[in-house]
Chains A and B, each alone.
Chain A
Amino acid sequence: MNNAAEKKLALSHLWVAFAAFIVACFMGEYQVLERSGLFPSLESPTVYFASVSTHGVLMAFVLTTFFIMGFGYYIASTSLKQPVWNKPLAWGGFWLALFGVVLAAVPLLSGKASVLYTFYPPIVAHAAFYIGATLLVVGSWVWCAIMLVMFSQWKKANPGQNVPLAMFATAANALLWLWASAGVALEVLFQLIPFSLGWIDTIDPGLAKTLFAWTLHPIVYFWLIPTYTAFYVFVPKQAGGFLFSDEMARLAFVVLVVFALPIGFHHLYMDPEQAKGWKLLHGVGTFVVALPTLVTGFTVIASLEIAGRLRGGKGLFGWIGTLPWTNPMVLAVILALLMLIFGGFGGIVNASYAMNAMIHNTAWVPGHFHLIFAGTTVIMYLAVAYYLWPILVGKPLFSNSMALVQLWTWFIGMSVLTTPWHVLGLLGQPRRISTVVYNNLLTLSWKPYELMMILGGLILLGSACLFIYNLAKTQLTPLVGEFTAEIEYAEPIHAVGVLPEYLNDLKLWNKVIAILMAISFGYPILQFFFMKTFGSSVWGY
């Protein structure tokens, strides 16, 4: 299939994603250095908070959104074996999102938007920051629309056939993101942009936090679904085996998408503007969404076991040794699962309704999400890049061994960074502080952990540089001889029979989501219009 146009589209998105990634990695290392207090000349809250805000926006919004869009376009065109629908529109979305990023970067880098990536009002940034972020999201909606159109066009053209798993997951993610982004879109359009432009005098920070919580949980699954997609559709083949269960993968994606949405209040456990019954309801939903992750762990490990045994592995654990550890995708999935086990444990602590008080907004929280996002999720983004780059640029990977070193160092660096970070949280260190100036003996116990974090950050930064170098070299080295590589999707070990329509379509789940969202967010949002509330006026920082 000649899909040069799709390759160019995917590659452009992925380069924006990884450019944001490498810039943000440098910022991350600067932040651990600044925070440690070892270098008094570095200390500056103005620079620190501008950096933290930019690091968060680049990693959480730019790396993810562009990666997901580029990955999605290529998955759609190769798994459905058809060109991307309406390519001019796709490019329009790309340029719009990129323009939004540039527009937001100006106030971010000049210290006019040091409101962090959660932008909690009534602290207000320059309007260009909110407008830029909105354009990024609108660009991603273009992607969602194209994914859903391609999904339904294919279904119409192939009645009675099962949508390929990779496309089912990608379309499910598009649906998830449309629902998820609605909360923050309401906040930005009706509260933050008018507020920052002075069109309205006051806003209710309680309502703003509630709308942000709507987005804040499912956005994590928006980032995670491409990682799970790679687990299911690439890993088994790369390991030399088969997918253990195609059907369970679909069920897992459905439960992820449906239950990731109505549970955002676990971010508001400690907040005064929502009542305990609603928090408990969202808390129970938070545990439900652990189920698809437990199922995914089983299916992926079972698929690896099939591969290990096909390669001659014997005994209870012998199959682990026979896995192709030198395949970047296989190595990455093993490391990702290790980080998922520890990160998942931490997540259970966070999700636990009242126990959350012990770690809420402490250093534990960034420790947790670095382990599970920058660890589990991003290591698979890196592995997918190593897999796709030769296909997209038509040249072999510059160095496989460099890729392996890079993945190992990413894992080691993330362990060295996040373990002390969790401990700091348990020792009471708040998150988001630029220096430690508390006059208290407790802070003495923090010192060694902060030093360890510098080392972790340094390992990660080196690892990130190797990654970019390897990709750039792959693309820029002239091709000697012939090279062709095509994307290969894993086959299930049991052929999939006729699936029920609800495992082959998203219409029913869209309705279920609408009902669950109305139940879990309906009254909690309406209450702000029923009770007497007092808005806040604009504050700088």
Chain B
Amino acid sequence: MQTEPIQAKCKQFCRDFFTQLNAVHIDHLERKWIAISIIIITSLVGIIVIDAFFHGVNPPSKVETIDSASLHLSKEFAEENLGVQTDEKGNVVVRMVAGRYSFFPKHIDVPAETPITFRWVSMDVLHGVHIPMTNMSTMIVPGYVAEITTTFPKPGEYPLLCNEYCGMGHNHMWSNISVIEKEHWTSKQNTPVPAAKGGSVNE
């Protein structure tokens, strides 16, 4: 295939484009403002890109599919495997199912200052989950596993709220999460608390 004519054509096109653009009247003040705007935008983009590539700051984006209609038959999201577990490498993994109108299990305890990997699945429609004041936020799309790893710096009681419209009971869809000081946390604290629904937040 001959590429030279195409290359030459592209070069010619670019040359014409910029020659013509330079001929367009743009006030010198406006040129300065455009330069400032480009600097602002470039620095914002720069921060984001550097964080993404060098510090691994990314939104939850693991594209992993699952059959939401048969979660109970899947090994990972069967009832007995839900909640907080520590895997063989010592990582804390939380498996949660979202369904109208709750998150299951209703209450979990996790350690503070420890990276925690959440794996969320939906058993019905679209949901979203956010723990206010933290970056534990993800959409839960039926057919997909939403995985997000985060660390909670401060111990305390946090609500866990559904933030995508999922039906008439959307605002009733919530549960609680206790972030416990690292040294007081043991990995077996993953059984649901019986009175979780009325769980007090008083420390």
Q: Enumerate chain A interface residues (CB-CB to B < 8 A).
A: 45-46, 49, 114, 116, 120-123, 204-206, 209, 244-245, 247-248, 251, 268-276, 279-280, 283-284, 287-288, 290-291, 294-295, 298-299, 302, 348, 352-354, 356-358, 360-362, 427-442, 494, 496-497, 499-500, 502-503, 527, 531-537, 539-541
Residues in B neighbouring A295, C-beta threshold 8 A: 30, 33-34, 37
Q: Are B143 and A534 in contact (CB under 8 A)?
A: yes
| Segment among B3-11, B78-86, B183-191, B193-201 that sits at the interface with chain A | B193-201
User: Contact at A430–B130, with CB atoms within 8 Å?
Assistant: yes
Q: A430 — which chain B residues lie within 8 A by C-beta?
A: 128, 130, 161-163, 171
Shortest beta-carbon distance, A151 to chain B, in Å?
Answer: 20
Q: Is B111 an interface residue (CB 8 A)?
A: no
Partner of B130, one of A294, A360, A499: A360
Q: Is the CB of B17 within 8 A of A502?
A: yes
| B33 to chain A: closest residue by CB | A298
CB within 8 Å for A283 and B174 given contacts A272-B145, A276-B59, A276-B61: no
**Could you say which residues of chain A place their CB within 8 Å of the CB of B1?**
none
Contact with A along B33-46 (1 / 0, CB 8 A): 11001101100110
Q: How far is the CA of A287 from the CA of B47 in the complex (A)?
A: 12
B20 within 8 A of A: yes
| Complex Cα spacing A427 to B142, Å | 28
Number of interface residues of B (CB under 8 A): 76
Give min CB distance, A540 to chain B, whole Å: 8
Query: Quick one: given A279-B61, A357-B59, A534-B143, are A442 and B171 in contact (CB under 8 Å)?
Result: no
For A494, what are the chain B residues with a Cβ–Cβ distance below 8 Å?
A: 25
CA distance A284 to B62 in the complex (A): 20
B41's closest neighbor in chain A, by CB? A287
**B-chain residues with CB within 8 Å of residue A439 when the two chains form the complex:** 197-199, 201
Is B201 in contact with A279, judged by CB distance below 8 angstroms?
A: no
Q: Which of B38, B125, B128 contacts A123 (CB 8 A)?
A: B125
B63 at the interface (CB under 8 A from A): yes
Contacts A428-B130, A440-B201 given; does A362 touch B163 at CB 8 Å: yes
B25 with A245: CB separation less than 8 A: yes
Instruction: Mark contacts of B137-167 with chain A using CB atoms, 8 A cut-off: 1 yes-contact digit, 0 otherwise.
Output: 1111111111100000000010101111111
Whether B126 and A122, one on each chain, are in contact in the complex, defined by CB atoms closer than 8 angstroms, is yes
Residues of B within 8 A of A273 (CB): 63, 141, 143-144
* Given A122-B124, A353-B58, 16 extra CB contacts under 8 A: A45-B171, A206-B141, A270-B128, A272-B60, A272-B63, A272-B141, A272-B144, A272-B146, A272-B147, A279-B61, A360-B130, A361-B128, A361-B164, A432-B163, A527-B63, A541-B166
Q: Are B59 and A279 in contact (CB under 8 A)?
A: yes
